[in-house]
Amino acid sequence: MNATAAQPPAAPGDTPAHAHVPVLLDRCMNLLAPALTRKPGAVVVDATLGMGGHSEAMLTRFPEARLVGLDRDPEALARSGRRLAPFGDRATLVHAVYDELPDVLRRLGIARIDGILFDLGVSSLQLDEADRGFAYAQDAPLDMRMDPTRGITAAEVLNTYPAGDLARILKVYGEERFASKIANTIVREREREPFTDSARLVDLVRNAIPAATRRTGGNPAKRTFQALRIEVNQELAVLERALPAAVAALAVGGRIVVMSYHSLEDRMTKRALAVGATSKAPPDLPVVPEELQPTLKLLTRASEGATETEITENPRAASARLRAAERVREDS
């Protein structure tokens, strides 16, 4: 884990800021505003920095706020660092996975934060760079690591996991109906030749799925690629640790906003926020003591999605689901 100030001006070849459109930007800013404008020097964490679009908006709209930006992807940190350079020492960027939040805050000497934003899933940078192997529409090495400096690759998963484990990953993480058939085909084909590139996997999945199913629902490989990405980066395990840690770090009056892009992330977020928003008192207790009162107040009645206008302008917003809550009490 490394902390850095915002980086020097943009280098040639960087993706221009206008090419990256942050999802649900105005809604996120409006939800965070009460927490970030109540006092000078409010601290907000962008737990998934990516290309820095949300962070840039927060630093611009809340000129007295300080930002801590986390990302596991060194390339994302470098690019967002250049984007956020004009804000100077108001932005501190850290190479870390978001479940490392407690350690990051401890190292920076921050006791409590006023806001935190999670924009989950794969970033625009990772999708757009073909050699990262995230996009099934382009042939590339089967890597899929958000941090290419550590961890196992998608190729290693495909070439070493038993058929049962592959089937479980595809069924649970990809919600793939034909998980067992695809897993068995992978195991059989890797004996002939190990998997190294995405095009071969895309063809295998397409051929393993019945023709009638292939006619609808887009590219049949998208669920397999999602499942592999989640497994390679341990995304759900990281999120399960990160959400309680984020809530615990919030000051009273602080707010958490989470955007997820598939049902597994959204259900996990819903459960984590519901736990904090539920009284710990027995249901028949006539008066609930203060120490048993909820610690969170839900700010969204259900998950919220993007408007049709935003989806037209930014198709990647189509699957976004947003939930938010406010810290209303310290833990007993």
Instruction: Take residue 31 and report the two structure tokens written for it.
Output: 């939800």
Residues flagged as binding site:
52-54, 71, 98, 119, 126
Instruction: List pLDDT tens digits, range 189-224.
Output: 999 999 999 999 999 999 998 887 766 666 888 899
Give the chain's domains with CATH numbers.
2-125+235-327 (3.40.50.150), 139-232 (1.10.150.170)
In angstroms, the Cα distances linking 268 to 55, 120, 161, 275 are: 24, 12, 26, 11
Sequence-distant (6+) residues with CB within 8 A of 46 are 52, 54, 55, 58, 67, 68, 69, 70, 116, 117, 119
Buried b (16+ CB within 10 A) or exposed e, 276-289: bbeeeeeeeeeeee
Task: Return phi, psi of residue 82, to 5°.
Answer: -65, -40
Residues flagged as binding site for S-adenosyl-L-methionine:
52-54, 71, 98, 119, 126
Reading the chain (332 residues) residue by residue, the pLDDT tens digits are 555 544 444 443 444 444 567 999 999 999 999 999 999 999 999 999 999 999 999 999 999 999 999 999 999 999 999 999 999 999 999 999 999 999 999 999 999 999 999 999 765 555 555 555 556 667 889 999 999 888 999 999 999 999 999 999 999 999 999 999 999 999 999 999 999 999 999 999 999 988 877 666 668 888 999 999 999 999 999 999 999 999 999 999 999 999 999 899 999 999 999 999 988 777 777 777 777 789 999 999 899 999 999 999 888 889 999 999 999 998 86
How many whole angstroms separate alpha carbon 321 and alpha carbon 257?
Answer: 11
Nearest to 135 by CA among 201, 210, 185, 214: 201
What is the sign, positive or negative, of the torsion defined by CA atoms of 11, 14, 19, 24?
negative
